[in-house]
Amino acid sequence: SSGINAEYGDSINALPSRFSAMVSFKRLVQPGRIVFISSGKYAKKIAMIVEIVDQNRVIVDGPFTGVPRHQCGIKQIQLTKLVFQLPHGSKTIVVEKVWNKNAVTAKWNDTVWARKLERKRLRASMSDFDRFKVMIARQTRNRILQTFKISKMAGVRKMYKRPVKN
């Protein structure tokens, strides 16, 4: 059992080794887990799980992301890879403390997930003029790349060119 625990770290420490089926699950619904709320009133926001109500519901709190402490269905949330130490059922003040101590917002913004969301948001908020500028920028970049590639290929082609038989 120590072998498995060493590999998968803190969150699976509490599990006895007979739960080998759980090994493939890396993100668990647990207090301190950062979740992305995918639907409902607080859609597209992140929050921290504070308490597990039952198989289908959790209590979630996002003091700095505009998510009030409330009961949320597990089907409306998506687990992220971020998890921090939080005693279950903690008050919002405690959640705030943990949030600040671990710089949760900064860690979230660093993730690929958050960066993808931001990119999508920027693209959707582009005006017609912005789209034109992006088009010109892509064109300029691609032209530079193409001329570079062509010049490179010319050198390679020379190398493989068969000598002309006289």
- Write out the residues near other proteins by the rule CB under 8 A: 124-129, 132-133, 136
Q: State the nearest-atom distance from the C-beta of 52 to other proteins, in Å.
A: 38
| Comparison of 10 and 128: residue with beta carbon closer to other proteins | 128
Beta bridge mates, 6: none
Residue 158: other Cβ atoms inside 10 A = 8
- List the structure tokens of 112: 């690929």
Q: State the nearest-atom distance from the C-beta of 44 to other proteins, in Å.
A: 17
Q: State the nearest-atom distance from the C-beta of 76 to other proteins, in Å.
A: 24
| Comparison of 136 and 153: residue with beta carbon closer to other proteins | 136
Beta bridge mates, 77: 37
Residue 9: C-alpha distances to residues 5, 64, 114, 124 (Å): 6, 28, 24, 39
Phi, psi of 32 (to 5 degrees): 100, -10
| Comparison of 85 and 140: residue with beta carbon closer to other proteins | 140
| Comparison of 137 and 154: residue with beta carbon closer to other proteins | 137
Whether the CB-CB separation of 82 and 111 falls below 8 Å is answered with: yes
Q: State the nearest-atom distance from the C-beta of 130 to other proteins, in Å.
A: 9
Q: How many whole angstroms separate alpha carbon 120 and alpha carbon 102?
A: 27
- List the structure tokens of 43: 């859609």
Q: State the nearest-atom distance from the C-beta of 135 to other proteins, in Å.
A: 9
Helix (H) or strand (E) holding 82: strand 77-83
Beta bridge mates, 49: 60
| Comparison of 129 and 160: residue with beta carbon closer to other proteins | 129
